[in-house]
């Protein structure tokens, strides 16, 4: 069973969409998405610098747009029917919702536009941030987070936990890390997937009510707890709540293993989730579709498992 996974915020790099625009119809597709969100994603995906595309309002639509471009190529020639399921990490769940047929591409783009704006606005209310913590004992780390009033935001598996909260508390964690851990500050605008994002939840709850959802036509797993979701409306509700609750990618990978995954293909901008799979799903073949040159390996993986 081949599973398609969609990465989250932080996976973008300057110019990463440049090679994709040489594909037939890709520039027009990205232009249409740009018009829909009111953001020039062609420029942001090709010429904008790292600071510009780090802005939450830009990064999130850019990442989802990249995933939709990749899916257009990946699912051509009937390959969608050969895929065993989809999942996304954080904002990648919006891409996954489109891949599974829960949201139209237009509604997925509209949702991520509102998501990026709402999360950026929530992040501006207090100076907060996120750090990746590598290694160490998870129970000891969670105890330390409680002492510092920090929150576990992403349980990524493979010995990686992303934590979030007030900047002074994150600095204290970095200065006095839990034994056996390494703390790496992340370049994000705020404490995503924590209580600090509650204002964004309120906005997205209202916006989601305007969207038309459909039950998935591909298996899809949720970040909430790794379970498979069969109701489109339930998945949209989970997308809303996800912005202020932890991402359980560790449990999502456990669900892949239980379902009998035989290969992982990560959509552009790829790399992060394949890296986690190599540690959390050891022995499972992976393909990171970073550029169109990687599509052939993905085609061969899908066709070889049909």
Element (H, E) at 288: strand 286-288
Domain shared by 36 and 173, yes or no: no
User: Distance from CA of residue 281 to its chain's centroid?
Assistant: 18
Cβ atoms of 272 and 10 closer than 8 Å: yes
* Pick from 306, 305, 275: nearest CA to 5: 275
Q: Which two tokens stand for residue 120?
A: 């950026």
Q: Known catalytic residue: 89?
A: no
Domain shared by 69 and 150, yes or no: no
Reported as a single tens digit per residue, the pLDDT across 61-80 is: 999 999 999 999 999 888 99
pLDDT for residue 189: 82
Domain shared by 8 and 100, yes or no: yes
Domain shared by 140 and 289, yes or no: no
- Name the active-site residue from 90, 131, 213, 244: 90
Reported as a single tens digit per residue, the pLDDT across 136-151 is: 999 999 999 999 999 9
Reported as a single tens digit per residue, the pLDDT across 157-208 is: 988 999 999 999 999 999 999 999 999 998 888 999 999 999 999 999 999 9
CA distances from 155 to 12, 133, 227, 269, 293 (A): 20, 10, 15, 20, 31
Domain containing 207 equals 2-123+194-304
* CB burial string 97-110: b at 16+ within 10 A, e below: bbbbbbbebebbbb
CATH number of the domain within which 46 lies:
3.40.366.10
Counting Cα atoms < 13 Å in the Cβ hemisphere of 44 gives 26
CATH number of the domain within which 146 lies:
3.30.70.250
> DSSP labels for 100-163?
TTSS-HHHHHHHHHHHHHHHHHHHTTS-EEEEEEEES-HHHHHHHHHHHT-EEEEEEETTEEEE
| Residue 9 φ/ψ, nearest 5 degrees | -65, 140
* Pick from 93, 65, 110, 119: nearest CA to 208: 110
Domain shared by 90 and 225, yes or no: yes
Domain shared by 169 and 69, yes or no: no
- Name the active-site residue from 193, 203, 213, 244: 193
- Better-scored residue on pLDDT, 158 or 286: 286
Residue positions counted in the chain: 306
CA distances from 123 to 109, 133, 199 (A): 21, 21, 9
Q: Known catalytic residue: 193?
A: yes
């Amino acid at each position: 069973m081949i599973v398609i996974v969609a990465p989250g915020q932080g996976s973008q790099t300057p110019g990463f969409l440049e090679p994709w625009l040489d594909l037939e119809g890709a520039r027009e597709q990205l232009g249409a998405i740009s018009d829909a969100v009111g953001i020039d994603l062609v420029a942001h995906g090709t010429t904008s610098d790292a600071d510009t595309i780090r802005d939450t309002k830009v990064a999130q639509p850019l990442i989802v747009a990249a995933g939709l471009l990749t899916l257009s190529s990946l699912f051509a020639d009937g390959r969608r029917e050969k895929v065993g399921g989809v999942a996304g990490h954080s904002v990648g769940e919006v891409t996954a919702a489109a891949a599974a047929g829960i949201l139209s591409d237009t509604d997925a783009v509209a949702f991520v536009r509102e998501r990026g704006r709402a999360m950026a606005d929530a992040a501006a209310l207090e100076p907060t941030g996120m750090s990746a913590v590598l290694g160490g004992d998870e129970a000891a780390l969670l105890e330390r987070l409680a002492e510092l009033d920090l929150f576990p935001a992403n349980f990524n598996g493979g010995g990686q936990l992303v934590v979030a909260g007030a900047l002074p508390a994150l600095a204290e964690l970095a200065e006095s890390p839990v034994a056996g851990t390494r703390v790496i500050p992340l370049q994000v605008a705020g404490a995503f997937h924590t209580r600090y994002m509650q204002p964004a939840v309120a906005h997205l709850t209202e916006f989601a009510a305007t969207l038309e959802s459909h039950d998935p036509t591909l298996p899809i797993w949720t970040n909430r707890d790794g379970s498979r979701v069969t109701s489109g409306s339930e998945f949209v509700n989970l997308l809303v709540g996800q912005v202020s609750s932890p991402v359980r990618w560790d449990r999502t990978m456990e669900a892949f293993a239980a379902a009998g995954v035989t290969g992982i293909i990560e959509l552009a901008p790829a790399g992060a989730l394949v890296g986690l799979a190599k540690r959390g799903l050891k022995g499972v073949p992976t393909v990171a579709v970073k550029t169109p040159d990687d599509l052939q390996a993905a085609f061969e993986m899908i066709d070889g498992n049909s």
